[in-house]
Structure 1
Amino acid sequence: MEFYKITIRPDSGFGTSLKGDTLFGHFCWQAAHAPDLLKTDLDTAIEQYARKPFAVFSSAVPTDAAQDAPHCFKRPDIPLDWFMSSEHLSKKEKILATKELKGKKWLKGNADLILDATRTNLAADTDFKDNGLAETGTCAHNTINRMTGTTGKGRFAPFETSVFRFYPNVLLSLFVLIDPKFLDKDHLVKGMSRIGKFGFGRDASTGMGRFTIIDTCPLPLPDLSAGDGLYTLAPCLPEKGRFNQTWFTPFVRFGKHGDLLAGVRQPFKNPVIMADEGAVCVPAETIDTPYIGCAVTNVSKAMPETVVQAYAPVLPIRIGALHENNL
């Protein structure tokens, strides 16, 4: 597979987080409307997605947000005391250090994309250029009663939804794996540009979810042997029996069809429980693909052939094989 980094600039507020599985769904809708995006028809690509994914998208990560850090990834979901395993601290010092670490939600990554789970590599929002990435607010909505020409009570009462807006000059990176037999770089960029133009996620029809592609560059496939664990870049379902140890935060995807199926009688998909991005997996065997996970099927009554990307691109992470919790 080929590995690319797509740098984007958010141009509006977002109602939906830029997670890998949702980006994959949006790209599939683009391929459905523009068959020339893929080198084969979408039905064929989806039919064999469980055996051979044609594309695997990461969730968005901040780019050049912290000093001396090209990327900042979500803090890995290993126990907090892992970051202090090499330090000789008293009980009181460990409690205070743990409290401090809870506010450091990010792990700095170098250009080589080999992560080191050390305390010095952690960063808080206050370490960013604007003391953060985004702010959360609300957006007002209403439904007009066509009989009265105004809002009213019940289903016509005004309501608010949550929205987060990135600060000016914030850039995000998406890491994408593609199979060149099905998809090439130019058509990947073309599809992603259309998503950014027409909007991503909830409330795209009201102007939410807009972004612009700033740059696209190829990267070498990650050298997974450079670490003693694998760090996931998107929500996924790690395969049984392939890992000796796994740390993760559960993430439940309550999926909903978009585009042409948004208004059908049953637009909602069956919920899928996944490990959120930032999971750390210690392989029990050699991993020969730059991704882990699987595809999830049987999630939709409106479109039975629907699949969920429960794959995730992975990066090597050094967590220290001799940590005291493993002795």
Structure 2
Amino acid sequence: MELYKITIRPDSGFGTSVKGDTLFGHFCWQAAHDPDLLKTDLETAIEQYARKPFAVFSSAVPTDAVQGAPHCFKRPDIPLDWFLSSEQLSKKEKILAAKDLKGKKWIKGNVDLILDATRKNLAADSDFMDNGVSEIGTYAHNTINRMTGTTGKGRFAPFETTISWFYPGVLLSLFILADPEFLDKEDLVKGMSRIGKFGFGRDASTGMGRFTILDTCLLPLPDLSAGDALYTLAPCLPEKERFNQTWFTPFVRFGKHGDLLAGVRRPFKNPVVMADEGAVCIPAEKIETPYIGCAVTHVSKAMPETVVQAYAPVLPIRLGGRHENNL
């Protein structure tokens, strides 16, 4: 597979977090509307997805936001004291250091896409430019009663939803694995550009989820042997018995069909429990692919052939010293 980094500029608020599994669903709808986007028909690509994924999308990560760090990823979901295991600290110093680490939600990544689980590589929101990365706001909605021509009570009462707004100047990176047998760079960019133009996620019809592609570059596949564990870039389902140890934050995807199926009788999918991006997995065997996970099927009654991307691109991460409490 080939690894592409797509840099995007958010042009509006986002009603849905930019996560890899949702990006995959959006891209599949683009392929459904444009049969030339993939080198084969979408039905064939989906049928083979559990054995041979044609594309694996990462969640969005801030880029060039902290001085000296080309990328900042979500802090790995390993115990906080792991970042202190290489330091000679008293019990009191460890408690104070752990309290400080709770506010550092990011880990810096170098140009080689290798992560080091050390305290000096962690960053807080305040390290990003002047303000941070994003903030949560509200967005007003209403439904007009066609009998009265106004809003009213019950289903016609105005309501608000939460929206994430990125601060000016914040750019995001998407790391996408594409199989050149199914998808090339030009068509990948074309599909992603259309998603940015028409909107991503919830409330796209009201102007949310807009973005512009600023740059696309081909990167060498990361050397997974450079670390002693793997770091995931999207929600996924790590395969059983393939890893000796896994740390993760559970993430439940309450999926809903979009596009042409948004208005069907049963647009909701069965929930899928995954490990959120930032999971750390210690392999029990050599990993040959630049991704881990699987595809999830049987999640939809409206479209039985639907699959969920429970794959995730992975990066090598150096954990350093281990102690009994971490194993």
Shared fold (TM-score greater than 0.5)?
A: yes
Following superposition, the deviation at residue 45 of structure 1 comes to: 0.2
> Is 1:6–1:174's contact at 8 Å kept on the other side of the alignment?
yes
Look up the match of 2:291: 291
Letter in 2 for 1:179: D
In the TM superposition, what are the counterparts of 1:207-246 in structure 2 within 5 Å? 207-246=207-246
Look up the match of 2:108: 108
Letter in 1 for 2:123: A
Following superposition, the deviation at residue 90 of structure 1 comes to: 1.5
> Is 1:85–1:324's contact at 8 Å kept on the other side of the alignment?
no
> Is 1:296–1:308's contact at 8 Å kept on the other side of the alignment?
yes
- Unpaired segments ≥5 residues, structure 1: none
Look up the match of 1:197: 197
Deviations 1:188-215 (A, max 9, x none): 0000000000000000000000000000
> Is 1:130–1:167's contact at 8 Å kept on the other side of the alignment?
no
> Is 2:20–2:58's contact at 8 Å kept on the other side of the alignment?
yes
SS in 2 for 1:168: coil
> Quick one: distance in 2 between partners of 1:209 and 1:322?
41
> Quick one: distance in 1 between partners of 2:236 and 2:284?
18
In the TM superposition, what are the counterparts of 1:130-209 in structure 2 within 5 Å? 130-209=130-209
> Quick one: distance in 1 between partners of 2:30 and 2:170?
26
Look up the match of 1:303: 303
The answer on 1:315 being equivalent to 2:312 is no
Following superposition, the deviation at residue 326 of structure 1 comes to: 4.9
Letter in 2 for 1:278: G
> Quick one: distance in 1 between partners of 2:226 and 2:214?
30
TM-score (norm 1): 0.99
Following superposition, the deviation at residue 325 of structure 1 comes to: 3.0
> Is 2:85–2:321's contact at 8 Å kept on the other side of the alignment?
no
Following superposition, the deviation at residue 287 of structure 1 comes to: 0.2
Look up the match of 1:268: 268
TM-score (norm 2): 0.99
What is the Cα-based RMSD across aligned positions, in Å? 0.8
Deviations 1:34-60 (A, max 9, x none): 000000000000001000000000000
> Quick one: distance in 2 between partners of 1:205 and 1:323?
51
* Cα distance change of structure 1 residues 135 and 22 upon mapping to structure 2, 3 Å threshold: same
> Quick one: distance in 2 between partners of 1:116 and 1:326?
17
Letter in 1 for 2:41: D
- Unpaired segments ≥5 residues, structure 2: none
SS in 2 for 1:30: helix
Among all aligned residue pairs of Structure 1 and Structure 2, give the percentage whose two residues are the same amino acid: 87
> Is 2:82–2:322's contact at 8 Å kept on the other side of the alignment?
no
Deviations 1:286-323 (A, max 9, x none): 00000000000000000000000000000000002534
> Is 2:229–2:319's contact at 8 Å kept on the other side of the alignment?
yes
Runs of 4+ with deviation above 2 angstroms: 321-327
